[in-house]
Structure 1
């Protein structure tokens, strides 16, 4: 595209009439967009080259239709700031740490996530909802001067889809998801889900993951009462939700099994369709801790490599 700005002292209407007559002679329809008050025309490159000699009859400045960008920087959500991620980034951003997100599935084409998602598996079919995408963004939203940034923006994420669009799964499917994470040598498993009752089978799956050195992080629950499973199991980091004042959220489960607290109120993160959305829940708190664990693990791995 070419933008032609004619000399202000040349009557623009006269130029348009002359050009219109020329185009009519060429048996073409009008092929430009004009800005009368600016004495400017926009024409395609093809049309400009075809009528270049005629355009040049008038004093004018010819410019390319260049790309213009807004002055924007990515937003660091309050939760990411609260957990001190910015300070920790000086020593690394989670590079190479493998994180399995067992959830409702992740929007793999989201511009904040697509380069961070390194694989995964679907244990359920059908449409996704946005829960898993929101969790993923809190952990690894890319540092790309757009949108937001996650706690560990250079970690490697694995999309382990075990929940349907309705946000429900079965115990058997969860066991398969954990087993896949073990077999594929994940470093961390994020589990933003829970159930009120104890399960011996799930306890054994958690124990097996722990023996393989996998860090397991789970949301405490949103019932305002007792912590749910798997957060309540020994060897799992159970996470309650706090607000921007550091106060435990009314909805957050608490007590035995709640090993730590993290931001879980008004949390902005990624959403399907290259969008962003604000949500509340311990599901949002857990990935903040997962991201911190990734930063810690990445530093540890780097130190071992340097020895």
Structure 2
């Protein structure tokens, strides 16, 4: 499309009458839009190529049909700013990293997540709740000039659904979910869940994933006391929650197994139905660390893997 502005001293109706005669001669339909009071018209590229010498007779100003964007700005949630993600984006945004999110399921229709979600598995069926969608947004909400942005907005997530609508699962299902992550070569697994007791079977599958080079990040727990499992295993990065002042949240588990602290109070992220919601919990803290690990890992990926994944 070309946008043509004619000299105002030339009667616009005369220009139109002349052009209509030329168009009839070429058996073309009228392919323009006129703004007579401004002596302007928009014409197709085809017609401009056909009649450009005729247009030049009038010495008009000819412009391209430029792309115009609204001055929208996506929000960078305080947690993303707090962990320093913006500074790290100068060296990459996590492209090529595969992140398995073992949770209640992810809303793949959300405009912040649909291009980042690349696969997954459902071990439980039935209705979902928004917990997994919220976790996913903290990690990878896309940089698209609206909504919010996640810590690692160019990484890919995999929806490994192991929890029902009530947020409950079983040890056997968790073992399946981690095995799926190993078999499908995840780079990182986010586990925003926990249980108070040690499990030998879970310890063994965690070790197997660690031996395969998978980074595992888990929420410490919301009991205000001891860190839960799987965060407490040595091979897992356990994450406690802090507030905007950097203080440990009163609900956050702490102590042995809490290797890292990250934002977990008033965290804004994605919610089903193309919505956003604020939640509290170490479940929100863990994905901040997962995103940071993805940014770090992406720098070490060979270019061939990043391109193949994309």
Deviations 1:190-233 (A, max 9, x none): 00000001000000010000000000000000000000000000
Match of 2:119 in 1: 119
Query: SS at the partner of 2:300?
Result: helix
Match of 2:78 in 1: 78
Deviations 1:147-203 (A, max 9, x none): 000000000100000000000000000000000000000000000000001000000
Deviations 1:46-87 (A, max 9, x none): xxxxxxxxxxxxx989999xxx97532110000000000000
Q: 5+ unaligned residues in a row in structure 1: which ranges?
A: 1-58
Structure-1-length-normalised TM-score = 0.77
Query: SS at the partner of 2:299?
Result: helix
Q: Distance in 1 between matches of 2:173 and 2:282?
A: 22
Q: Residues 1-307 of structure 1: matches in 2 within 5 Å?
A: 71-302=71-302
Q: Distance in 1 between matches of 2:304 and 2:158?
A: 24
Greater than 4 Å deviation, 4+ residue runs? 59-64, 302-305
Structure-2-length-normalised TM-score = 0.76
Query: SS at the partner of 1:102?
Result: strand
Match of 1:50 in 2: none
Query: SS at the partner of 1:217?
Result: strand
Q: 5+ unaligned residues in a row in structure 2: which ranges?
A: 1-35, 43-67, 306-310
Q: Distance in 2 between matches of 1:242 and 1:274?
A: 27
Aligned 8 A contact 2:189 2:215 in 1: yes
What is the aligned length? 246
Query: SS at the partner of 1:105?
Result: coil
Q: Distance in 2 between matches of 1:79 and 1:202?
A: 30
Query: SS at the partner of 2:72?
Result: coil
Deviations 1:19-42 (A, max 9, x none): xxxxxxxxxxxxxxxxxxxxxxxx
Aligned 8 A contact 2:96 2:301 in 1: no
